[in-house]
Amino acid sequence: MCELLGISLAQEKDTSGEIRNFFNRSMFNPHGWGLGYYPDDRAPCARLFKDAGKASRSDMAQWLSGRPFPVKLLAGHVRFATEGLTAYRNTHPFVRECGGTDYIFVHNGKINPLSSSEEGRFTAIGDTDSESLFCSLMNWIDQSGFGGATDRFDSLHHKLQVLNQQGQLNCIFSDGVHLFCYYGLSEHMGLGYTRVDPQDGYIVSSYPIIKAGDFKTFSPGQLIVFKDGTMVYS
């Protein structure tokens, strides 16, 4: 039921091998694929590549994974549809701008309808519980003035655990600086991380996608935040 990918590195590095391995998971998740990253170090402006359908049958996905793909910060998703049609509008990552920053978001699990207290200026375009969840989180970010401040990570962690009460919530999202990775209380599927190299950074994924390094699993309800290939909150 969908799989997640997150990359946080100290410097830009070719990640085409990791992306190929991740796209291979589309055999179990045939209803969409997507990558979101930040190509401009001077501005938190996201670029998305995504499409409905199986990554292994997508010319775009094969082109991306068959050439050098240097990134420093990335969130990816392969989709197994449980809510909403197989359509571009329902394909992750989702993106919203807040405070001059593009936030990108990927999720797996099933979330029940959220209360009216989660309403705000961000609303869903597609039909998925994942996008509705993202909009609820963005409304909180907008209204709380979170803005990625490190002294607010505890507040973010609490907010994610509150949202988690509505169902299964594993997610990875980014503000162009940090990679926020949360593993749900229900222990739905898996989430773990691998240290690429002591100097390089981390790969976060639902299941191991690289052979090098130990795959360390998240604890239920755990939020880990990475920045520039370093773990800055856990």
Contacts of 52 (CB under 8 A, 6+ apart): 31, 32, 86, 87, 88, 90, 91
Find tokens 């375009």 and name the residue. 125
Please tell me whether the peptide bond between 39 and the residue prior to it is cis, using omega within 30 degrees of 0.
no
Q: How far apart are the first and last CA of the chain?
A: 26
Distance CA 195, CA 200 (A): 8
pLDDT (tens, 9 = 90+) of the chain, 234 residues, equals 799 999 999 999 999 999 999 999 999 999 999 999 999 877 899 999 999 999 989 999 999 989 999 999 999 999 998 888 999 999 999 999 999 999 999 999 998 877 655 678 999 999 999 999 999 999 999 998 877 667 789 999 999 999 999 999 999 999 999 999 999 998 888 999 999 876 789 999 999 998 777 899 999 999 999 999 999 999
The whole-number pLDDT of residue 6 equals 98
Distance CA 231, CA 164 (A): 23
The whole-number pLDDT of residue 103 equals 97
Residues 32/52, Cβ–Cβ less than 8 Å: yes
- If we measure between CA atoms, which residue out of 31, 136, 10 comes closest to residue 90? 31
Find tokens 């449980």 and name the residue. 82
Distances (CA, A) of 75 to 48, 54, 114, 129: 10, 18, 24, 18
Which CATH number goes with the domain that contains 139?
3.60.20.10
The whole-number pLDDT of residue 51 equals 95
Contacts of 101 (CB under 8 A, 6+ apart): 44, 147, 148, 175, 176
Distance CA 214, CA 210 (A): 9
The whole-number pLDDT of residue 96 equals 97
The whole-number pLDDT of residue 223 equals 98
Residues 109/186, Cβ–Cβ less than 8 Å: yes
87, two tokens: 């359509």
Residues 77/3, Cβ–Cβ less than 8 Å: yes
Domain containing residue 56: 3-233
Q: Give the count of domains, the chain.
A: 1
The whole-number pLDDT of residue 229 equals 96
Cβ neighbours around 190 below 10 Å, total: 17
- If we measure between CA atoms, which residue out of 15, 209, 4, 224 comes closest to residue 92? 4
- If we measure between CA atoms, which residue out of 35, 75, 41, 83 comes closest to residue 58? 35
